[in-house]
Amino acid sequence: MIHVGIGYDVHRLVEGRKLVLGAVEIPHTKGLEGHSDADVLIHALCDALFGAMGEGDISASSPTDPHGKNAPSLTFLREAVRMVHLHSGRIINVDSTLVAEEPKIGPYVKTMRHRLSEALEIHPERVAIKATTNEGLGFLGRGEGIAAMVVASVDLPR
């Protein structure tokens, strides 16, 4: 039976941090503020996977645990994939949208798809990553943060 989950995450852009999106470090003057590397795309992806399993959100993989301090978010994604397998599930595909005024995401999408597909154990063609702006509106439009939305489908026996 196919189950669908949706995830959303947003983090503030701040000075003095690396910008990591989809497990790719992107050159930029600011990075995302957070306990781990603050990769909004992976955090939203984890939430979508947990939602598809009926398991809540990313807190299930303890991103605020002291061991997660500055950790790569791929650690949390691998845990979410492990949980899918524990439920005898199989990830079908993911569809995501990043919302950011800058930097331009397009040049990094292929690498992001590859890294995420490896962690998800699916073909890169089953990982969609799109980017848009907020047309200058609100905190995202002012370039104060970056947001991500993800939908994931998982085949589960129940």
| pLDDT tens digits, one per residue of 30-76 | 999 998 999 999 999 999 999 999 987 776 554 455 555 678 999 99
Helices 40-52 and 74-86: angle between axes, nearest 10 degrees: 10
Question: Residues 8, 44: contact at Cβ < 8 Å?
Answer: yes
What are the tens digits of pLDDT across the range 105-147? 999 999 999 999 999 999 999 999 999 999 999 999 999 999 9
Question: Is the pTM higher than 0.95?
Answer: no
pLDDT at position 88: 96
Q: Radius of gyration (Cα) for the chain, nearest Å?
A: 15
pLDDT at position 71: 85
pLDDT at position 35: 86
- Which CATH architecture fits 2-155? 2-Layer Sandwich (3.30)
User: What is residue 108's three-state secondary structure?
Assistant: helix
| Site of tokens 């701040």 | 14
Q: In the predicted model, what is the mean pLDDT of residues 80-106?
A: 96
The pair of structure tokens assigned to 90 is 């199989």
Domain coordinates in residue numbering, the chain? 2-155
Q: What secondary structure letter does DSSP report for 105? A: -
The CA distance from 158 to 125, in Å, is 26
The pair of structure tokens assigned to 49 is 């996977």
